[in-house]
Structure 1
Amino acid sequence: MAPDARHQVTGRSATSTARAVTLGAATAPVAVPLPEAVGPRDAVTRLRAHGCWYPSASPDGTEAAFICDRGGVPQLWAGPVHSDEVRLLDASPDPVTEVSWSPDGRWIAYTAAPGGSEHSRVLCVRPDGTGRRILAGADPGTSAYLGCWAHDGSAVAVTVAVPAVRTSGDGSPDGTATSLEEPAPRPGDGLSAYLLDPDALASPALLATEADAATLRVCDLSFDGTLALLRRGPRGRREAVVRRTADSATTCTMPVADGDPWIGRFSHDGRTLWLRTDADREFAALYALELDADGAPRAATPAAQRPGSGLELLSMAHDGRTAVLVWNVQGASELELLETTAARSAADTTGPARPVPLPHEVVTRAVPAGAGRLLLALSGSRRRPGVWWAREGVSLLRTPWSSRDEDAVPPDRPPVRPVPLHLTARDGLPLSGWYYRAPGRAPGESAPCVIHLHGGPEEQERPVFNPLYHELLGRGLDVFAPDVRGSSGHGRSFVDADLGTGRFAALDDVADCAAHTVTAGLADPTRLAVMGRSYGGYLTFASLVWHPDLFRTGVAVCGMSDLLTFFAGTEPWIAESAAHKYGHPVHDRELLRSLSPMTRIDALRVPLLAVHGEHDTNVPPGESEQFVRAARERGVPAELLTLRDEGHDFLRADNRRLFRRTAADWMQRHLG
């Protein structure tokens, strides 16, 4: 990438920023103290096979705060990395999604979703479990998202989303969400980022406001506090923004990759920005972006890159001298450390990258943990998510509070390691996925097979432990989990291949994947089923009506059945982000109509099970309800399972078990 390419690194005036600040000034959050937790400081119900993920280390690296579902729901825990004496910091049943320990060690900030809904809030608590309070997101209808800490621990960045209010013809509010059809923003619309004092002694400081924004996250603050790194923009068009905190002036922008929102870090002197970006590239790489004293860009140089593999996770050591790089290599992870001592650009980087062997296939999070220490959240195809730690020159060690490998599945049901499967779509595009063979299947024996489709569509199928797959395998059903076009991990062109009318080709990809399992001698052509969640649920609905003779049944989980009603009912910022991916609900109305499974409901011939969380505001439950209702009206057997106290993701252990068993029962009954 050329250092002076203006469409990649550009300056911008503060005019639009100043206007945005005015729009968002009334939405500043107010901290809400919470009563001290009563009762046991441990989980009342213990899951033997639990998962631990999203660790954040104390400043000295001896302890970690993390998310764990050992109590039946993802909750906030903390404890020493070398002892199993962990403590529950928030006994609330609200699922926790992100965790961040303050650099001064005094607070742990985290994000939780009340009632399992999509409206999250940011809270903080002291490491001993006292002082718990809501920092943002307490107001009804609002959501809050966690950003970074100031490097001295004095403040934490939080983004607040306030739903827009639609006005009637006379200008009075009618209380409904704004659709993309309304062009003019009003005060309070969009996303606003603040610096909040966890002690609630200082007033919130507004960093940025974006009207009609899709995303806005504060990823880093320079050590002197003069610059902020933000990530904003809709899916497929994310960008990094450097903004001065003194006058809110944007000094530069640069395209960045989708995926992990933590896109980069400033060097200690603020003159280099280490950035994970795929600007003008197929795969994301590490770039050193040189800045002048005012934060304006001078040059952008690649510091670490790989042909055919993308940089998936980026973290920097607290002293700024080591970059932790996680590469996505055909779905698996490779970890390496890169020294950046005294670096102003890639040319100054000292020494080659050092690889770190991994005991699991996939790294989901990598964070520094004090001098020379590292915390990793790992997952594998035959073991539950866990947290591992290491010192310089020492092999990775599993934390005692992470599940043991032997607890992953029942003793009489050994976990299945998937094998990669490659094929070519009908238009010549290479496709791939992971095939899970049910235990005890004889070689050459064709099997009943479930084609499982991931969400996103920018997600990627990874070789990680999936209890649903093992439930299906235990019923004698094979599983093929492919990446159809639009998935990540295969380059920018592959991600964008389903834009616009390309989505019709993605529907054909599903059929081509199913057909390949048959021609490869793996699946029985008379016992194929399709299943998926979120966008995969949409593909399930669509596949059953676009290819009605291919599948015997389907299970659609939190899927969109009509893209127009989806846009009308989803969260405003989700609609803003999704418009680039699927099409605009006004300008591309006919395209969205033609891509909607509801428009072809008359072609449905096979039984269908739909599953939805009652609090899902990402894809509202009405999407499943209307498809099931229409199927029944046409005499096609259809059932709907609504999971209580769940949103778009199913996070409670009892609901997850109910979902898995219901789906597996359905598949076993219809596939024989």
Structure 2
Amino acid sequence: MKYLKFTVLIIIYLMISLQPVEAQKYQGHGKGSVSEINLKKFAPPKVDSNQLKRIQSILDIRSPSSGIPAEDGKSLYYTWNVTGTTQVWKVPSPGSFPVQMTAGQDVTYLLSITPDSKRLILVRDEAGQEHPGLYWQSTQGGRLNEIFKKENVKMYYEFTSDDSEYIYFTTNEKDEKSLALYKFHLPTKKIETVFDKPGKWYVADYKNTGELLLVKMTGNISREYYLYHQKTKEFKALFGQNEKESYKARFTTNANELIVKTNKFGEFHRLYLWNDGKFKSITPEWQYDISSFSIDRKRQRIVYSVNQQGYTTITALNAKTLKELTLPSFKSASHVYYGSMSRNARYMSISVAYPDRPGNRYIYDWQTNKLTEWTKVSLPEEELVNYPADSLEYYTTRDGVKIPMFVTRPIQCKNKLCPVIVTFHGGPESQSRPRFDARKLLFLEKGYVLVYPNVRGSYGYGKSWLNADNGPKRLDVITDIEDCAIFIKKNWQVLGQSPKLAIKGGSYGGYSTLVGMSLFAGAYDVGVASVGMSSLITFLENTAPYRRSLRIAEYGDPIKDRVALEQLSPITHIQKVKDPLLILHGANDPRVPAGESIQMYEELSTKQVKVDLILYPDEGHGIRKRHNRALNYAYMLKFFDEHLQGK
């Protein structure tokens, strides 16, 4: 009997010890969710100024956004982070010296120019909290004038009425789980409610007659479309109801017609004309996605972009005849993007990205067919003679699927074994794409081969690929993370020796990094995780309420899918972690709470594992401020050098 009791105790002990580790029960997100003790304990350590010199010089290589052209085509407004923080700038004429319109340490973005050309509509966020304020500023400069700003309230700008009197925006002020529509009257500064049915709403388009094309977000990519008349309050369902399909739509010149981008009828997104419930395709059935489209305010031209295996081209159509229009060509460009169109439909901004040098910004005049370069590339103290372009390659998974990946190899690693850094993108409905990125130089110069996979669940490879990781299905494809490491170690050997391997990423890429270091421990030699989820359950419980239902549609329900979510959570496999891990996070993050990183660190710090955690007290979901970005790269480089090259 004595031995029986002892045996039972041993069995109970083993059962308990083999159970998944329960995630620490932190609470909350964003500003104030991290204790002062932890902010002090995990504060960014000082870095010698000599170590930052090269990083700072690389951060000086920057390109502005595509910008918004003025109605007369005589000036261009855009956002640029040349000061270290993204601010708004104005170029008075092509190639002229830019004029800084906004300033300070808080990120400021340009959203629109009012139809009368008198005001810029701007948004400003404080310390990465993602509760931005909406402002207007004279196109001649001057102070910012508040339209809407409230503590802990989410806000999105929608549009400005054609008479320049009303600014429309959505907020979750009344219900933190919903987004209602409001309008601000510029002359009187009064705000009134336009539409406040429950749900997360935004405006896809509008007419001067008062009709609004409203969209209800029902999932991570699924949308429902409705027609709402502001005067009569008539509310009519159009399409997407009780579906899980992706749609984007705009009005055309015809009364009851819409142009729609959707992949409902096939694997890839195409453009359709919708009328009275019927869809008619107007673009070919390609084996790649139309990633976006726009139509000018006068409904004269449709411009759309095509994603071809990660490379981007644009096409224009006459909105009435649907005949293709001539656009400028850019030799050797990796990506050509259309930007904003002037309201008079004459001017369109275009931005171009190249594989081996910074991109540039142009304005295209539809009337004269003239393309004008507006900004000059700045390469302070750099020549970029040997900057290697990305190559599109593939690795094969255990179930025989070919995964696309972009690879950047330093010239010095052509016939030499070099360590490899694999970076997984965020999203997860995103895509790694080839382009020049000056920050890559920091790693290439040190002899690191850079790999950017687009695992199943990434955008740009069809609907089945995109949805392959939804909910519990993620269990079937999460092995793509480990299979990348297996492939590289086997196929990139030099003289029988496999390269050392690192994994890194931010947001979902940070989660992928934690998965690679825990569930697939040993696959990678070192990891750097930024703003990543350590537990999908505590993440879904604590992320901002306005995001929760959308994220549940992607990851799974915390109750119904709890078993799968536990198995997919890195903290469940904490006992397996054995290799060095650096964790980075912004304390004000409202999307992935900093508690996700803190609980992972606390569990690992009790074990014989090298783990470091750094919290930025003035950042959110990502590192935005220049000084912090320089520190962030210094920490990563030091960590990789130490654990991949023994420096």
Scaled by the length of structure 2, the TM-score of the pair is 0.84
2:124 counterpart residue number? 112
2:218 counterpart residue number? 233
1:107 Cα deviation after fit: 1.6
Which runs of structure 2 are paired with 1:72-471 in the superposition (5 Å)? 72-130=84-142, 132-136=144-148, 138-162=149-173, 189-197=177-185, 199-201=186-188, 203-211=190-198, 213=199, 215-230=200-215, 232-255=217-240, 263-268=248-253, 270-290=255-275, 297-341=276-320, 349-354=321-326, 356-358=328-330, 360-363=333-336, 365-369=338-342, 370-384=344-358, 386-392=360-366, 394=369, 396-400=371-375, 402-404=376-378, 406-407=379-380, 410-411=382-383, 414-443=386-415, 445-471=416-442
Distance change >3 Å, CA 80–CA 309, structure 1 → 2: farther
Query: Does the 8 Å contact 1:229/1:243 carry over to 2?
Result: yes
1:474 aligns with 2:445: yes
Distance change >3 Å, CA 105–CA 513, structure 1 → 2: same
Q: Give the letter aligned to residue 454 of structure 1.
A: H
Distance change >3 Å, CA 352–CA 128, structure 1 → 2: closer
Distance 2:212 2:302 in 1: 20
1:551 aligns with 2:524: yes
Distance 1:361 1:77 in 2: 26
The DSSP-based 3-state class of the residue aligned with 1:383 is coil
The DSSP-based 3-state class of the residue aligned with 1:556 is strand
Give the superposed CA RMSD.
2.7
The DSSP-based 3-state class of the residue aligned with 1:600 is helix
1:23 counterpart residue number? none
Distance 2:277 2:471 in 1: 36
1:470 Cα deviation after fit: 2.5
1:595 Cα deviation after fit: 1.1
- What is the CA deviation profile of residues 299-343 of structure 1, one whole-angstrom value per residue up to 9, with x for unaligned ones? 3222224411211121223321111111111111111110013xx
Distance change >3 Å, CA 395–CA 335, structure 1 → 2: farther
Distance change >3 Å, CA 490–CA 255, structure 1 → 2: farther
Aligned residues: 581
Which runs of structure 2 are paired with 1:643-658 in the superposition (5 Å)? 643-658=616-631
1:649 Cα deviation after fit: 2.4
Query: Does the 8 Å contact 1:47/1:71 carry over to 2?
Result: no
Query: Does the 8 Å contact 2:314/2:337 carry over to 1?
Result: no
1:494 Cα deviation after fit: 0.5
Distance 2:589 2:610 in 1: 24
Looking at both structures, which has the greater relative contact order when contacts are Cα pairs under 8 Å and sequence separation is at least 6? Answer: 2
2:42 counterpart residue number? none
Q: Give the letter aligned to residue 484 of structure 1.
A: V
Distance 2:623 2:370 in 1: 34
Q: Give the letter aligned to residue 428 of structure 1.
A: G
The DSSP-based 3-state class of the residue aligned with 1:53 is coil
1:635 Cα deviation after fit: 1.8
The DSSP-based 3-state class of the residue aligned with 2:474 is helix
Query: Does the 8 Å contact 1:46/1:70 carry over to 2?
Result: no
The DSSP-based 3-state class of the residue aligned with 1:235 is coil
1:612 Cα deviation after fit: 0.8
Give identity over the alignment, percent. 23
Distance change >3 Å, CA 62–CA 47, structure 1 → 2: farther
Distance 2:403 2:62 in 1: 33
1:229 Cα deviation after fit: 3.8
1:346 counterpart residue number? none
Query: Gapped runs of 5+ residues in structure 1?
Result: 1-44, 165-187, 291-296, 342-348
Distance 1:254 1:85 in 2: 48
Distance 1:442 1:228 in 2: 54
Distance 1:81 1:379 in 2: 22
Distance 1:231 1:97 in 2: 25
Distance 1:413 1:441 in 2: 16
Q: Give the letter aligned to residue 275 of structure 1.
A: V
Distance change >3 Å, CA 452–CA 298, structure 1 → 2: closer
Q: In terms of mean alpha carbon deviation, does 270-279 or 626-635 score higher?
A: 270-279
Query: Does the 8 Å contact 1:125/1:131 carry over to 2?
Result: yes
Query: Does the 8 Å contact 2:147/2:189 carry over to 1?
Result: no
Query: Does the 8 Å contact 1:61/1:371 carry over to 2?
Result: no
Query: Does the 8 Å contact 2:424/2:505 carry over to 1?
Result: yes
- What is the CA deviation profile of residues 367-412 of structure 1, one whole-angstrom value per residue up to 9, with x for unaligned ones? 2235542202333343345422222465644323x534x45x8337
Of the two, which has the highest radius of gyration? 2
Q: Give the letter aligned to residue 390 of structure 2.
A: P
Distance 2:233 2:401 in 1: 45
Query: Does the 8 Å contact 2:470/2:555 carry over to 1?
Result: yes
- What is the CA deviation profile of residues 230-282 of structure 1, one whole-angstrom value per residue up to 9, with x for unaligned ones? 353321323333322224443233349xxxx9934322454322222222332
Q: Give the letter aligned to residue 256 of structure 2.
A: R
The DSSP-based 3-state class of the residue aligned with 1:118 is coil
Q: Give the letter aligned to residue 608 of structure 2.
A: G
Q: Give the letter aligned to residue 330 of structure 2.
A: L
Q: Give the letter aligned to residue 60 of structure 1.
A: D
The DSSP-based 3-state class of the residue aligned with 2:419 is strand
Distance change >3 Å, CA 372–CA 601, structure 1 → 2: same
Distance change >3 Å, CA 661–CA 363, structure 1 → 2: farther
Query: Does the 8 Å contact 1:335/1:357 carry over to 2?
Result: no
Q: Give the letter aligned to residue 560 of structure 1.
A: M
Query: Gapped runs of 5+ residues in structure 2?
Result: 1-56
